[in-house]
Structure 1
C-alpha cells in the first residue's frame, strides 16, 4: 500500500512538472512571437540590414512550429481517452506509445515519423545557422538535445534511442518528456533569435566598422590661427540608409540627382560654387520601429579661387598717372569681392574687384590704397599698397603719322595732316591737334588753326627751296577725357625733296 501511494505521488509530480513546462512554453512562445514581430518592423525600416536576418529567423520559426505542432497533436492523441487530463495518478500505463511506436522489438512507421521529426528539426536548424557567425554553440546544443543515436542503458548495453526513452514508461512520464521537447524547441528558437540580434549589435559596434572624422569650427584656416580640430569616431554601415534626405545648399533644396546614397554614406554631387563659404543644412530621416527619426545636418565648405596666374611685380613700378582714369583690380585671396573694401583719395569702385584711380587732384607724388576684408568667421584682415603719381608723358608731333626728321615732297606737305601721339604709353589716348606754327627758312612764321596748312602757310611753302628744312612746332593738342594740360608737343622737321 505504501508502494502504491509513492507511485501515485511520483505520477502527480510528473503531472505538475508537465504543467509548469506548459506555462513556461506559453511565455516563451509569446516572447518569440514578439521578437519576430519586432524583426518584421525592423526589416521594413532597414531591409538591407535586417532582411537577411529575418529570412533565417523565418526558417527557424517554421521548423520550430512544425515540430511543435506535431508534438502537440501527438500529446492530444495520447490523452484522448482520458476524461480528466489533470488526473495524473491514472496515467500509469504506457500502452499508447508502446503500441503507437513499436511492434515487438521493431519501430513502427509512427515511431519512425517521430524520429524523422526530430532529425528534420535538428538538421534544419544546423543548416540554417551553418554560415551564421557566433552560432556554433547553438548548433552544438541543438545536435545534443535532439540527438537520436543509440543510448547505453544501466547495464551498459546499447539500445535504440526511441526504445530507451519511451518504451514501457507511464503515460504521464512520456507526456512530460514530450512537453520538455517542446520547451527545448522554443528555447532553441529564443537562443537563435537572441544570438542573431546580439551578433548584429556586436557587428555594429565592432571597431572595424568605425572610421575617424575631423570636426572643425570652420572649413578653412589662415596662417597664424590656432587649429581647433577634433578627431572623433564615426560608424560606417553600408546597410544603414536614410529613408529620406532633405538637404539644402546655401538655402536651396538639393535635387535627387545632386546626391546618392552609397555604402551608408550620402555622397554629394554639387558644384563648388563661387569663392567663399557654402553651407549644407537639413536632415537625414531614418525609419526606426515604425517611426521616423531625424538626424540634423549642419556643415559647410569653403571655395577659394583656383590659382591660374603668378603674381609678378616689378619694384618701383607701382605707378598711376594724373589726368586719366587708372583702372585697378583689388581683391583678397579666398575672400569674395563683396567682403572686400578699398579706400584712397581719388579711388572709386566699379563692380566686383574693379576700381578706378583718378590722381588728378592729389597734390603729392604718392598715394596709398588701404584694403580690408571680412573672413567667413567674421574676422578682419587688412593690407595696403603705395603708388607713385606721374604726369602724362610728352606728346610727339607727327606729319602724315611720321615724327622726327622726315623727307617729303612739297605737295605732300601741303595736304598732310598734322598730328600728335604718346609714344610707348599704356593708355589709349588719341590726341587732336587744334593749331601749330609753320616756319620756312627766310619767311615769317605762320600761326595755323586746325591740323592742316592753311592758305597763308601754303603760299609760304611755295617759296621754300628744294632741300630746305621746314618746321612745324608749338603744336597744340588735346586729349578726350584728360583733365590736365598736356606737356609741350615735340616739333617735326621736314626736308623738302622737290
Structure 2
C-alpha cells in the first residue's frame, strides 16, 4: 500500500509512528460490527463541507509524509561515499622499458584523494607506512607478485576494503660488456652442445628459442642443449620474447657446424692420463685398456676405442704388429709387455674410435712407450 511504501522510506521511528497514525485506514471495532468499511465510516451521513475539510486534512497528512521522505533522502545523500579534497593526475604505464619500435601504452587518469584521512595499507599481511610508499629488495630471477588491501571509511563511518595484486619481473643483473669472436660461432655436429640464451630486460621464462638444422632441448633457466644434424650445414637460432601475450623476435644468430676434433689416445696410470713417453715396467704390465678422448682444456669428450695395434721390434729390428679388436689389450699383447726389458720401445698405432657424433675415424700418429 501507499502508506507501507512511505514508511519504508522514513528512518526516524517517531516520524514513522506519526505518519502511520495520520494515514491509517483502520476501522474501529464498532464500525466493523456494523459491516462498514473505512470510506463509509469516515464519510457516511457527513455534510459536504465537513467531508471537504476531512479530505483537505488527509491531503495535508500525505504532503507531510512525503516531506519526511524527502528529508530522509536528502540527509542520506553521499553518506556512503568517500569524501575527497584534492585531485591529482597520474600516468600508469604498462611498462617503462621499451624496445625500438615498440608502442608505449599508459593510462592517464585523474585520481581524487582525501588528505585528511589516510587509508590503512596492508601488503602480504603486514601494515605499511600510511603514505603508501612501498619498497622491497627483489629476490630471484623470474615472474613474481605481491598482494594486499586498503581499508578506509566512508562518510557514514562504514569500513571499505579494496584488494590489489601487482605482478613484476626480476631479470639478471648486467655483468659487464659482452665480447664475441665473430669467426668462432661453431657447434659440433651430432654432439650435445651446451648453450645459454638470454634477452636483457626479459625473464628467462618469457624467452623462447628455436633452431634450424638440428634439435634443441631446453634445460631451464636460459640453458639449452643444441645438436646439429650435419657437418658443414650452418644452423640458425631464432630468439623471441613474450611480452603480455605478444611474441617479438629479438635476434637470429648463425653458427657454423663442424666435425668433432680427433681425440687423443691414452692409458690410465693411477689418476693420470698417460699419452706417451717413459713408463715403469709395473705400470706397463698393469695396463688393461686403451682410451681416447678430446682433452684440450676446453672439451673433455670421451670416445669409444674400436680397435688398435701395437708394434714391437725384435733384436734384429723387425717390426712385430699385434692387433686388438676392441679397447682392451689382448693376452698376446700383455705377454709381450712382460717380456720387454728396460729401454725397450713399442708403439700403439692405427687406433680406430667413434665419438658421440657417431662418426668413426682412424687416429693419425702413434703413441710411443719406453720401458723404464
In the superposition, the TM-score normalised over structure 2's length comes to 0.60
Closer/same/farther in 2, CA of residues 330 and 277 from structure 1, 3 Å limit: same
Q: CA deviation at 1:334?
A: 2.6
Match of 2:348 in 1: 472
Q: CA deviation at 1:424?
A: 0.9
Q: Which has the higher contact order (CA 8 A, sep 6+)?
A: 1
Give me the whole-angstrom Cα distance separating, in 2, the residues matched to 1:292 and 1:484.
76
Q: CA deviation at 1:445?
A: 0.9
Give me the whole-angstrom Cα distance separating, in 1, the residues matched to 2:159 and 2:331.
99
The answer to whether structure 1 residue 492 and structure 2 residue 338 are counterparts is: no
- Tell whether the 8 Å contact from 1:279 to 1:301 is kept in structure 2 after alignment: yes
Q: CA deviation at 1:447?
A: 0.9
Match of 1:408 in 2: 279
Give me the whole-angstrom Cα distance separating, in 2, the residues matched to 1:363 and 1:394.
14
The answer to whether structure 1 residue 317 and structure 2 residue 191 are counterparts is: no
Match of 1:444 in 2: 320
User: Of 74, 80, 99, which aligns to 1:222?
Assistant: 99
User: Of 290, 293, 296, which aligns to 1:421?
Assistant: 293
The answer to whether structure 1 residue 395 and structure 2 residue 267 are counterparts is: no
Q: CA deviation at 1:460?
A: 4.3
Give me the whole-angstrom Cα distance separating, in 2, the residues matched to 1:411 and 1:256.
72
The answer to whether structure 1 residue 239 and structure 2 residue 116 are counterparts is: yes
Q: CA deviation at 1:329?
A: 2.1
Closer/same/farther in 2, CA of residues 466 and 363 from structure 1, 3 Å limit: closer
Q: CA deviation at 1:391?
A: 1.4
Larger strand proportion of the pair:
2
1:401-421 CA-to-partner distances (Å, cap 9, x unmatched) read 2214x1234554333243323
Closer/same/farther in 2, CA of residues 347 and 490 from structure 1, 3 Å limit: farther
- Tell whether the 8 Å contact from 1:433 to 1:477 is kept in structure 2 after alignment: yes
- Tell whether the 8 Å contact from 1:241 to 1:261 is kept in structure 2 after alignment: no
Residues 33-432 of structure 1 correspond to what in structure 2 (within 5 A)? Answer: 204=85, 213-225=90-102, 227=104, 239-242=116-119, 254-257=123-126, 259-262=127-130, 265-268=131-134, 272=138, 275-276=142-143, 285-290=152-157, 302-310=168-176, 311-344=178-211, 345-359=214-228, 361-376=229-244, 378=246, 380-399=248-267, 400=269, 401-404=273-276, 406-410=277-281, 412-417=283-288, 418-424=290-296, 426-432=298-304
Asked which structure has the greater CA Rg, the reply is 1
1:131-179 CA-to-partner distances (Å, cap 9, x unmatched) read xxxxxxxxxxxxxxxxxxxxxxxxxxxxxxxxxxxxxxxxxxxxxxxxx
Give me the whole-angstrom Cα distance separating, in 1, the residues matched to 2:305 and 2:125.
67
CA-based RMSD of the aligned residues comes to 4.2
Q: CA deviation at 1:287?
A: 1.6
Q: CA deviation at 1:368?
A: 0.6
- Tell whether the 8 Å contact from 2:193 to 2:225 is kept in structure 1 after alignment: yes
- Tell whether the 8 Å contact from 1:284 to 1:297 is kept in structure 2 after alignment: no
- Tell whether the 8 Å contact from 2:312 to 2:345 is kept in structure 1 after alignment: yes
Give me the whole-angstrom Cα distance separating, in 2, the residues matched to 1:287 and 1:324.
69
Give me the whole-angstrom Cα distance separating, in 2, the residues matched to 1:352 and 1:367.
22
- Tell whether the 8 Å contact from 1:393 to 1:487 is kept in structure 2 after alignment: no
Structure 2 stretches lacking a partner, 5+ long: 1-70
Give me the whole-angstrom Cα distance separating, in 2, the residues matched to 1:496 and 1:445.
18
